[in-house]
Amino acid sequence: MTRAEDPVVRSATMRAVKSRNTAPERKVRALLRPIAPGYRLHRTDIPGKPDIAWPGRKRALFVHGCFWHGHNCARGARAPKSNADYWQAKIARNHARDEVNMTTLAQQGWRALIVWECELKDEAALREKLAAFVCDDQGMRMSNE
pLDDT band at 132 (very low <50, low <70, confident <90, very high): very high
Domain range annotation of the chain = 18-134
The distance between the two most distant Cα atoms of the chain, rounded to a whole number of Å, is: 57
Q: Measured between alpha carbons, how far is 64 from 5 in angstroms, rounded to an integer?
A: 27
Pick the CATH number of 18-134 from 1.10.10.60, 3.10.129.10, 3.40.50.300, 3.40.960.10: 3.40.960.10
Question: Band of the pLDDT at 9, cuts 50, 70, 90?
Answer: confident
What's the burial of 18, exposed, middle or buried (CB within 10 Å: 0-12/13-18/19+)?
A: exposed
**pLDDT, tens digit, 9 for 90 and up, residues 14-57:** 676 667 778 899 999 999 999 888 899 999 999 999 999 999 99
Q: How many CA atoms lie within 13 A of 123 on its CB side?
A: 7
So what's the pLDDT on residue 138? 39
